[in-house]
Amino acid sequence: MTLDIAGAAGALLAADRILILTHRRPDGDTTGCAGALCRGLRQLGKTAYILPNPDITKRYAPMITPCYPPEEFSPAYIVTVDIAETKLFTDNAVIFEDKIDLAIDHHRSNPMFAAKNLVRPDAGACAEVIYDVLLAMGVVLSEDIAECVYIGASTDTGCFKYSNTTAHTHAVAASCLSAGIDGGELNRMLFETKSRARFEMERIVFDTMEFIEGGAIALAMLWRRDIDRTGADMDDLDSIASLTRQIEGVEIGLTLTENKDKTVKASVRTTKEIDASVICKKLGGGGHLRAAGASFDCGMDEARRLILAAAKEQYHERHG
């Protein structure tokens, strides 16, 4: 069943003992959504918690770790935020796979896996959808809720510079600023401050990036040996996939990251000429128009062959 904003607000208002799930390798959007929704529900007198995410990084932990449930908590209503498909569930969330009451998302590839689904592909970030739901429920946009919403909206739109940024995105950000958050400091922390490990990984990306199809496709490969040598963690690798798209002439930016178990995460970033989600769908993944992803169980070399083949196919389909 699909819902609109009012329908999702009504479903949440009728529920209690709510558990909120975030996706594996959590980013600012899924954690910001969870943090804002949990705090908003509590403001209304609901019992609400966020399922612990084993992949949480220090950058986003403050939004969700204070909302982890006590051991004896037994949820009666399960909500997912910014989760495009069930294979993105964390290991401790798999037990809820067929028990999701409400999914709130903005990925157009979402297969509507929950009993009730609010999916808004027009939203630049899922945090925008959460914001609308919170207001529909009568939640007051307190500073702590606003900070969560702002982080979700800003990180998923690249500090409001990606093409998925809309007038509504800016309106949501303006409301958060009016609630008293320090947008300048948050942006500095999220987009300007880099660890030494992040700096070293960026240097590796620029030193080893490959260019294909006359420079229209850029490929970066983040090998586990380099990640371990620099001491980079998931926080340091957050948003690094956007570097490939910064080069003039690049229409398709590909980033392959070797995981600890030797599986591979692929991130695709595109300009307005190419649909990133189409490339990833060819590989069993999905995502947005300009940002999408896929996973491979094979090694890096085979993943490189597969992702390049899919990218080249889409490039030639678009350009002839």
**Domain 196-319 belongs to what architecture?**
Roll (3.10)
Residue 258: strand, helix, or coil: strand
Residues of the chain with pLDDT under 50: none
- Pick from 147, 154, 206, 199: nearest CA to 178: 147
CA distance 47 to 69: 10
Q: Tell me: the pLDDT tens digits for 142-172?
A: 999 999 999 999 999 999 998 899 999 999 9
The percent of residues above 90 in pLDDT, for the chain, comes to 89
For residue 13, what pLDDT is reported? Answer: 98
For residue 289, what pLDDT is reported? Answer: 86
Q: Does domain 5-191 have CATH number 3.40.1010.10?
A: no
Integer-rounded Cα Rg, in Å, for the chain is 19
Residue 220: strand, helix, or coil: strand
Identify the H or E element spanning 79. strand 77-81
Q: Are 255 and 220 in contact (CB under 8 A)?
A: yes
For residue 163, what pLDDT is reported? Answer: 87
Tell me the β-bridge partners of 266. Answer: 256, 294
Q: Do domains 5-191 and 196-319 have the same CATH topology?
A: no
Length of the chain: 320
For residue 280, what pLDDT is reported? Answer: 94
Q: What are phi and psi of 23, to 5 degrees?
A: -90, 160
Centroid of chain to Cα 38: 18
Q: What pTM, to 2 d.p., does this model score?
A: 0.85
For residue 38, what pLDDT is reported? Answer: 98
- Pick from 25, 108, 36, 162: nearest CA to 280: 108
- Pick from 110, 112, 118: nearest CA to 137: 118
Q: Tell me: the pLDDT tens digits for 126-143?
A: 999 999 999 999 999 999
Q: Tell me: the pLDDT tens digits for 290-319?
A: 889 999 999 999 999 999 999 999 999 988
Buried b (16+ CB within 10 A) or exposed e, 296-316: beeebeebbebbbebbbebbe
For residue 248, what pLDDT is reported? Answer: 95
Domain ranges of the chain: 5-191, 196-319
